[in-house]
Amino acid sequence: MCHFVTLIVPTKNADAVRAVMQRHGRAASPIDNPSIRNVLRDGEHQYLTTSGHCDCGTVLAPRHESSEDKLAKEAAKMKRKGWSTTKIARAIEDRRKAVSRPDGGESDSLELWNAALHQLGRELKLPYAGLFVRFYSGSIATETFSASRRQVPEGEQWQDALSSMAHDEVTIFPLT
């Protein structure tokens, strides 16, 4: 029940991707979610970039629904799934703690994501890289959902491109 950010790049060199992302306070752990894989092209690979517990509060793909509204919906969903009252309360409290951490920290800002993507391009000679944000309610590796793909037009300002990301959309950024 948290947000997670996935990096999409046309390289399977996980060590090189990890080295670049670590310099920006992020991780790069290979992952293969089948729903994301459905919108990828040959040679593209997925890397989970979360370095902590989750990416709740990320500046990417912001939602405009209030946190309490989201928590209420999640609690109702858990109840329908048969979760106990105690388990729901514990999960919702964990979620409140995650949401309350400060936004735009050291490992999450538009500037950080721009720098990380462009460094990947320079160091690994990648023509593009993509980012994907999702609020997962189950396993990150196996949860099924409908994902889409969008190519950011050449010449679009990086701030506009990053701030226009949508949930469940692989957003591809040109790096050349």
The pairing of beta strand 148-151 with beta strand 169-174:
parallel
Position 106 scores a pLDDT of 55
Residue 139: DSSP 8-state: -
User: Nearest 5°: phi and psi at 15?
Assistant: -65, -40
Q: Spell out the domain ranges in the chain.
A: 2-60+104-174, 67-100
Position 99 scores a pLDDT of 53
**What digits encode the pLDDT tens for the residues 114-132?**
999 999 999 999 999 999 9
Confidence of residue 57 (pLDDT cuts 50, 70, 90): confident
Q: How many residues does the chain have?
A: 176
- Dist CA 110 CA 18 (whole Å): 19
Q: Tell whether the model's pLDDT for residue 45 goes beyond 80.
A: yes
Identity of the residue numbered 88:
I
Q: Is the pTM of this model over 0.85?
A: no
Helices and strands in the chain, H and E counts: 6, 6
Stretch 18-25: mean pLDDT? 96
Position 105 scores a pLDDT of 46
Position 173 scores a pLDDT of 96
